Amino acid sequence: MKACSKMAIGKASQHDIPGLVEVCRQSFSHSIRWRWGPKAMARRWWSSAIGSDAAETWVSKEDGRVSAFCVLITDEECWAAEEKQREYQAILIGLRFLAFARARWCAIRREAAGSETSSGNKAAESHNHRCKRHKRTWIGLIAVARQMRGRGLAKDLLKVCVDRTAELGHEAIKLRVDRENRPARRLYESAGFVCTSEKGSQCIYTRVCDSRERPPDAAVSGSN
């Protein structure tokens, strides 16, 4: 772990999942996955993301508590394939939830009248994906706990991601942001990102990374 602004930044582990889910619930208030969906779905997403070889999750902690995080996608093709599987799993969880609700409803009705119901399971298929090496990384997700905002935590996490991108030998780091998300756009611009294209309601920001610019002590724990 590396101390930044009195915080410790390091790679996330499965123990951090409850904290990550909480920061997401506070930060993405319009999202079904993060705000309105069952917590089990969000936990499963994080478990898969933390275990992924296509991304690194960096967390900023104070007294062991997750205050902020950033997901750095290092292999965008593999990540996209994994996202499809995660969405499939989310649908399965939703179906199981509906099946459970239906079974409960039928049981209540059975008590009153007397009827029968059953529910089924599906096994998830696993796929092998061919992964190409890309010359860029992506910021997949970044958020800071509401009470910890405005203290430079997001900027510190972005710096870790920029350093990692250079360390991995990639040339640039990119991200998508909603055009109306002014705090996030300010953050990216202040961290040296430039809006390189606009598509619909989204802007794509890019920062070129030069490994020669990286200071020799920039490595942080957990990097490999």
Ligand X SMILES: CC(C)(COP(=O)(O)OP(=O)(O)OC[C@H]1O[C@@H](n2cnc3c(N)ncnc32)[C@H](O)[C@@H]1OP(=O)(O)O)[C@@H](O)C(=O)NCCC(=O)NCCS
Out of 78, 90, 154, 160, which residue is the one contacting ligand X (CB under 6 A)?
154
Is residue 181 a contact residue for ligand X (CB under 6 A)? yes
Please say which residue, 190 or 211, places its beta carbon nearer to ligand X.
190
Please say which residue, 63 or 125, places its beta carbon nearer to ligand X.
63
Out of 142, 173, 203, 209, which residue is the one contacting ligand X (CB under 6 A)?
142
Is residue 140 a contact residue for ligand X (CB under 6 A)? no
Do the beta carbons of residue 142 and residue 158 sit within 8 Å?
Answer: yes
Q: Give residue for tokens 């070129």.
A: 208
Do the beta carbons of residue 213 and residue 166 sit within 8 Å?
Answer: yes
- The backbone torsions φ and ψ at residue 122, rounded to the nearest 5 degrees and listed phi first, read -120, 140
Q: Which stretch binds ligand X (CB under 6 A): 125-133, 159-167, 183-191, 213-221?
A: 183-191
Site for ligand X in 18-77 (CB under 6 A): 27
Q: Which stretch binds ligand X (CB under 6 A): 46-54, 92-100, 152-160, 162-170?
A: 152-160
Angle in degrees, 0-180, between the axes of helices 39-51 and 17-27, rounded to the nearest 10: 120
Which regions of the chain does DSSP assign to beta strands (E)?
2-4, 7-11, 55-62, 65-73, 136-144, 172-178, 194-199, 202-208
Is residue 195 a contact residue for ligand X (CB under 6 A)? no
Amino acid symbol at 10: G
Query: Which positions touch ligand X (CB under 6 A)?
Result: 27, 142-144, 149-155, 177, 181-184, 186-187, 190
